[in-house]
């Protein structure tokens, strides 16, 4: 029978620093497993992995107590200098790709000008319920819980809002019953005006992902968005290039209607990380419009979102994203 040190090694090979309180009595092993920040599937998987490793090593019985710290979700802002560059599409697919990697992540659609997430998440017309004063997020595509400005007001109504109203509306979404959600991807309204400032002053994101198309004019707007977050002291996680390169579905030739590589060059010049590029592909628009986010699929598009999600997740796991 292995001793307590052997079991400790076996368990930490599977669960890293998440295991604690290991005890052994007559071959019966008990321990605690901190599953904070993991979604339900990842929790079940980790528990099962630890259990089978301990059983394989010869334990007569295994008792695992799952614990999770109560957490206030951290916000990841997805922002762009101007509209129409694919910010909402990226927000949805980033959240889904992070969830597919086992993270406990939610999505908030704070774009008061054109809340499009209910459609992208396949839950158009679904109204969230409330528990007391708090809203309960609805379950969107990929099992990602989500709330949208579009669920608070009728389309078009919010456009006349001023900063404080937008800030208060965002509070309703962010202060909802998020359960064990650790990180919330926030689809910001495009631009860098008072509305956006009020929102981030009220609910400071831990970091911002900026999205741009590759052409010069869009990059100038992206640069403005970057300095906006700099001024607000919100660190930039990195820049994503969207609609980079068009693969012709008929002849298979790759062309660059908006140029290509502009965002990567701009990121280098600005000294911020480049997180990756998403091609211009009609399949992205069609799948999104049908409420089937492409990040849920298999293939190169989904891989591109997963690669961006990995970098954002790594940034969130590093010390700079830890709560003060």
Ligand X SMILES: Nc1ncnc2c1ncn2[C@@H]1O[C@H](COP(=O)(O)OP(=O)(O)OP(=O)(O)O)[C@@H](O)[C@H]1O
| Nearest-CB residue for ligand X | 83
User: Does 85 show up as a binding residue in the annotation?
Assistant: yes
By CB under 6 A, residue 213 contacts ligand X: no
Q: Toward ligand X, which CB reaches closer, 127 or 285?
A: 285
Q: How far is the CB of 196 from ligand X (least distance, A)?
A: 12
Size of the site for ligand X (CB under 6 A): 20
Q: Toward ligand X, which CB reaches closer, 35 or 209?
A: 209
Residues 131-170 that bind ligand X (CB under 6 A): none
Q: Sketch the per residue contact string, 33 through 72, with ligand X: x for CB under 6 A, - otherwise.
A: ----------------------------------------
Which residue reads 């990567």 in tokens?
A: 264
Q: Measured between alpha carbons, how far is 174 from 254 in angstroms, rounded to an integer? A: 41
Output b/e per residue, 16-39; b: 16+ Cβ within 10 A: eebbeebebeeeebbbbbbbebbb
User: Does 259 show up as a binding residue in the annotation?
Assistant: no
Q: How far is the CB of 283 from ligand X (least distance, A)?
A: 8
Residues 223-242 that bind ligand X (CB under 6 A): 242
Q: How far is the CB of 201 from ligand X (least distance, A)?
A: 21
Q: How far is the CB of 143 from ligand X (least distance, A)?
A: 21
Q: Is the dihedral of CA 259, 260, 265, 267 positive or negative?
A: positive
By CB under 6 A, residue 192 contacts ligand X: no
Among 76, 95, 278, 312, binds ligand X (CB under 6 A): 278
Q: How far is the CB of 99 from ligand X (least distance, A)?
A: 18
Count of CB atoms within 10 A of residue 6's CB? 13
By CB under 6 A, residue 280 contacts ligand X: yes
User: Does 81 show up as a binding residue in the annotation?
Assistant: yes
Q: Measured between alpha carbons, how far is 114 from 211 in angstroms, rounded to an integer? A: 17
Q: Measured between alpha carbons, how far is 18 from 24 in angstroms, rounded to an integer? A: 18
219's CB contacts (< 8 A; 6+ apart) are 212, 262, 263, 266
Q: How far is the CB of 222 from ligand X (least distance, A)?
A: 11
Count of CB atoms within 10 A of residue 44's CB? 13
Q: Sketch the per residue contact string, 79 through 118, with ligand X: x for CB under 6 A, - otherwise.
A: -x--xxxxxxx---------------------x--x-x--
Token pair of 25 as six digits? 């009595």
Token pair of 204 as six digits? 């400071």
Beta strands in the chain (DSSP E): 19-25, 28-34, 61-67, 74-79, 105-109, 129-131, 134-136, 138-139, 145-148, 183-187, 207-212, 236-247, 254-255, 274-280
By CB under 6 A, residue 281 contacts ligand X: yes
User: Does 87 show up as a binding residue in the annotation?
Assistant: yes
By CB under 6 A, residue 257 contacts ligand X: no
Q: Toward ligand X, which CB reaches closer, 47 or 111?
A: 111
Q: What is the DSSP string of 115-176?
A: --HHHHTT-TTPPPEEETTEEE-EE-GGG-EEEEGGGTS-TTGGGG--HHHHHHHHHHHHTS
Residues that bind ligand X (CB under 6 A): 80, 83-89, 111, 114, 116, 190, 242-243, 278, 280-281, 284-285, 288
Q: Give the annotated binding-site residues for ATP.
A: 81-88
């Amino acid at each position: 029978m292995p001793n307590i040190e052997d079991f400790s090694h076996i368990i930490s090979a599977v669960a890293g620093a998440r295991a604690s309180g290991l005890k052994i009595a007559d071959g019966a092993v008990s321990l605690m497993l901190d599953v904070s920040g993991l979604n339900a599937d990842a929790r079940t998987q980790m528990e099962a992995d630890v259990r089978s490793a301990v059983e394989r090593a010869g334990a007569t019985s295994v008792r695992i107590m799952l614990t999770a710290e109560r957490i206030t979700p951290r916000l990841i802002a997805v922002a762009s200098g101007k509209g129409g560059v694919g910010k909402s599409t990226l927000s949805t697919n980033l959240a889904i790709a992070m969830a597919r990697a086992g993270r406990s992540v939610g999505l908030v659609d704070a774009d008061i000008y054109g809340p499009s997430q209910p459609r992208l998440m396949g839950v158009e017309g679904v109204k969230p319920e409330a528990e007391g004063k708090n809203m309960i997020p609805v379950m969107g595509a990929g099992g990602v819980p989500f709330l949208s400005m579009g669920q608070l007001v009728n389309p078009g109504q919010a456009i006349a809002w001023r900063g404080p109203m937008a800030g208060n509306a965002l509070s309703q979404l962010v202060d909802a019953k998020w359960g064990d959600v650790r990180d919330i991807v926030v689809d910001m309204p495009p631009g860098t005006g008072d509305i956006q400032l009020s929102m981030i002053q009220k609910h400071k994101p831990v970091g911002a992902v900026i999205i741009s198309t590759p052409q010069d004019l869009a990059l100038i707007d992206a640069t403005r968005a970057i300095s906006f977050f700099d001024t607000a002291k919100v660190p930039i996680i990195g820049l994503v290039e969207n609609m980079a390169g068009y693969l012709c579905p008929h002849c298979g030739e790759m062309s660059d209607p908006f140029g290509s590589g502009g965002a990567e060059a701009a990121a280098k010049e600005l000294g911020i990380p480049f997180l990756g590029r998403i091609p211009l592909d009609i399949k992205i628009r069609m799948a999104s419009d049908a409420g089937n986010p492409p990040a849920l699929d298999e293939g190169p598009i989904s891989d591109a979102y997963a690669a961006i999600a990995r970098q954002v997740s790594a940034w969130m796991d590093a010390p700079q994203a830890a709560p003060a």
